[in-house]
Amino acid sequence: MKENYLVDVVIPLPLNRHYTYYSKSRVEIGTHLKVPFGNNNEIADAITISDSYKKDTSFPIKGILSVEKKILSKKQIQFFVWASKYYLVELPKVINSLFPKHIFDISKISKNEIKYRINNLFKCTVVVDNSKNYFSFIDNKTEKLEDKKSQILILCPNILKSYELILRLKSRAFLYNSSISDKESKEIWEKVLNNEDLVIIGVKSALFLPFKNLREIFVVDENDIAYKESDKILRFNARDSAVMLSKIHNCKINLMCNFPSIESTKNIKEKKYNLINKKESLELKVEKRININNILEKKIKEQYDGILSNDIRTKILERFKKNKKTLIFTPLSSNIKVIRKSLSFLESENVKIYELIKKNLNSKTKINNLIKSIEKFDIIIGNQSVLFNSLFKNFDLIILIEPEKIGKRSNYRSNEILFNLLYKSVNYLKYNQSSSLIILTNESQNKIFKSAIKLDYKGFIKGELIERKLFKYPPYSKIIKIELISSNYTKKSEMGNFLFENIKKDFKNLNVKDIGFDSNDDKYEIIIKITDTKPLSSIKEKIKKFLSKKIKNNGFSEILINIDIDP
C-alpha cells in the first residue's frame, strides 16, 4: 500500500470514538473535511483532531474526499483534549457537545498571521472588590489594551450579567451566549478564528471559541455556583477551565469577586495566585435594615398564603402604594409560580409582576425588551440572575426565601454558596442606603447567617478551611460523584446499591459514600473521595472501566451514569 499521510478526525454524530483517514498531502489540525463514512460510504463532515502523521498500517484506510477550510484553532483542540482527560469524557463527545453545527457553513477563513505574541505572561490574579462599581477594573484594563492587538474574553456567570456588563463597558464588545442568533454566533466564530481584535462577553460556552492568542481573561464573580456546568455531557467548572485556557494561551487571567472562593483562597495562600484587594471600607450600619424571619415561628403565629406570610404580603402592598419596588429571590425555579400565586391578590391593585424564568431569557429580543421595560414592573421574582445586577438598581427591597436550599446536601460547596448569596445581599445594602433585606428561613440560627450579616469573610473562610482540612473536603482531596439517572425508580435503586457495594469491594483504598436519592428522587448519587497521591486521571479511568463492565454484565442498559469530577 502506498504510503500516505494519516489524520485522526471526529465525525459530528453522537459517537464515542474518532476515525482515521489518509490524505496525499498534509492537513492542518482543526480543518473541515468531507469523508466517506459507514458501510455505504455516505459523504460526511469531519474535523481533524491531530496533525498529519505517517504510520504503517495492516488494514485498509479510507481516503479524504476533499479538504474544505480550517474551522477550529490548534489551541482550541488542545483545550478540548485537556477537558476530555480532566473531566473523563471521550474527546469526540466533548467536541460534538460543545461546538455549534453551523460552523461548517462559515465563509473562507483568511490566512492571517498571528498579530501578537505573548511569552511567559501567565499569571492568575484574584481581584477582590465589593464596591458598587467593580466593573471599573475591567474598564481600565480593556481601555489600556485597545491600542494593542488583542482578543479579550470576559466570562459572566449568567446571561443577564453579560447584558449588564455590555451596557456598562466603555469598550465595544460582542455578546456570546444562547440568547444570540445562529447568524451572530457564526459571525463571532469567524472573527475569533480570523484573529480579529475584539472583546467577547460570554457565559460558559464562550470558553470554547477558536481563540488563537488571547491577551487577557476576566472571570466575573469567580465564586458563583453558575460556573459549574451540570446539564451537559462535559460537567466542567468554567472558572477552573478558564485558568487552564489562560495557561494554554500563556496570558493573564483575572478572577473578579467580592470574596475569593475556597480554592482561590488556598492558591493565594500558597502564592500560586496574586491578590489585588480593592475592597472599600464603609462604616455604614446595615443590621437595622435586615430582618430574618423564622418560617416555623411565622407559621405558628401568622397565616400563610402559599409561600409568603401575610405580613410580608402586606408590606409589599404598602411599598407599592409608595411607588417602591421589590425583588424576590428563590433558589428553586419551581417556586417562582408559587410565589406569583401568593401575590395574585395584588393584581386588583394594578401591581405589575414579572417572572424572571429561563424562557424569558432565551433571546436577545426578549432580554432587550425586559431591560427597556424594567421600570414598568413593581415586583420581579427569580433565582440567581435576579440579584446583584445594576439593571435592578431601583428595586430597594430584597426578599430571600429559604436561601439555605441553594446548596444540595451532597454539595461540599453548600456553605460557601449560601455565604456568597447572603454576603452579596448584605453588601448591597451598604451601597443602597434606602434598601432593606428580608430573609425567610428555617435556619435563622445558622452560623453562616451570622457571619454573612457581619460581612465577616475572614471568619467564615478560616472556619471553612479548617473544616475542609479536618474532613478532607476539596481542595484537600478530590471528589468523583457518580449520578445514576433513570425513569425506573426501582432499577435506579437496585443499580445504586449494587454499584456502591461493588465499588467498596473493588476499590478498598478509596473513601466511598452512598448518598442515595437526591431531594427530587431524580438521581441516585455515590461519592468517592480520593486522598492518596496517585494521579486522578488513572483512578478515573479505572472507575470508568469498572462501571462499563458492571453495567454491561448486569443488564442495566436503560440507566444513564454521569461521572462528575470536582477537583
504-562, pLDDT tens digit by residue? 988 888 889 898 887 677 888 898 888 766 677 778 788 888 888 887 777 666 677 77
SS3 breakdown of the chain: % helix, strand, coil, rounded to 5?
Answer: 40, 25, 40
pLDDT of amino acid 530: 81
pLDDT digits (tens, 9 = 90+) for 434-475: 889 999 998 888 889 989 988 898 899 999 888 888 887 877
Question: Does residue 350 come out as left (phi exceeding 0), alpha (psi in the -120 to 50 range) or beta?
Answer: left
Q: Using CB atoms within 10 A of its CB, is residue 139 exposed (0-12), middle (13-18) or buried (19+)? A: middle
Cell of 89: 469524557
Distances in Å between the Cα of 436 and the Cα atoms of 185, 286, 326, 327 are: 40, 8, 10, 11
End-to-end CA distance of the chain: 47
pLDDT at 364: 92
Q: Looking at residue 339, what DSSP letter applies?
A: H
On whether the CB atoms of residues 104 and 136 are closer than 8 A, the answer is no
The residue behind cell 499569571 is: 123
**Residue 126 to residues 31, 110, 189, 224: CA-CA distances in angstroms?**
37, 36, 29, 14
Measured in whole angstroms, how far is the alpha carbon of residue 409 from the centre of its chain?
19
Contact 115, 149 (CB under 8 A): yes
- Give me the long-range contacts of 408-413 (CB less than 8 A, separation at least 24): 408/518, 408/519, 409/515, 409/518, 409/519, 410/481, 410/515, 410/518, 410/525, 410/527, 412/468, 412/473, 412/474, 412/479, 412/566, 413/225, 413/262
What are the extents of the domains in the chain? 5-105, 123-277, 287-468, 478-566
Residue 299 is predicted with a pLDDT of 73
Residue 146: the pLDDT is 61
Secondary structure of residue 3 in the 3-state scheme: coil
The per-residue pLDDT for 243 is: 96
Q: The domain 478-566 belongs to what CATH superfamily?
A: Ribosomal protein S10 (3.30.70.600)
Cβ atoms 157, 227 nearer than 8 A: yes
Q: What is the pLDDT of residue 50?
A: 92
Domains 5-105 and 123-277 belong to one CATH topology = no
> For residues 319 and 326, is the Cβ–Cβ distance under 8 A?
yes
- CA 493 to chain CA centroid, Å, is 29
Rg of the chain on CA atoms, in Å: 26
Cell of 522: 431524580
What was the pLDDT predicted at 140? Answer: 82
Give me the pLDDT at residue 202, please. 96
- SS3 readout for 101-168: HHHHHCCCCCCCCCCCCCCCCCEEEEEECCCCCCCHHHHHHHHHHCCCCCEEEEECCCHHHHHHHHHH
Name 189's Cβ contacts closer than 8 Å, sequence gap at least 6.
Answer: 71, 100, 103, 106, 209, 210
- How distant is the alpha carbon of residue 126 from its chain centre? 18
Report the alpha-carbon angle 434-224-78, nearest 5.
150
Residues 6 or more apart whose CB falls under 8 angstroms from that of 127 comprise 137, 254, 255, 256, 257, 276, 278
- Closest to 72 (Cα-Cα) out of 107, 43, 99: 99
Between CA 146 and CA 254 the distance in angstroms is 17
- Record the pTM: 0.90
Would you identify the CATH topology of the domain 123-277? Rossmann fold (3.40.50)
Strand-pair partners of 517: 524
Ranges of H-type helices in 322-470: 335-342, 364-373, 414-430, 447-453, 457-470
Choose the CATH number for 5-105 among 3.40.1440.60, 3.30.70.120, 3.30.365.10, 3.40.640.10: 3.40.1440.60
Fold for the domain defined by 287-468? Rossmann fold (3.40.50)
Low pLDDT (below 50) residues in the chain: 1, 116
Question: CA-to-CA distance for 122 and 271, rounded, in angstroms?
Answer: 14
d(C-alpha 41, C-alpha 515), whole Å: 48
Give the H/E segment covering residue 346: none
Q: How high is the pLDDT of residue 119?
A: 56
Beta bridge pairs of residue 437: 290, 398
What is the C-alpha separation between 3 and 519, in angstroms, rounded? 59
Q: Is the separation of the CB atoms in 179 and 364 below 8 Å?
A: yes
Which class for 225: exposed (0-12), middle (13-18), buried (19 or more C-beta within 10 A)? buried
Q: How many residues does the chain have?
A: 567
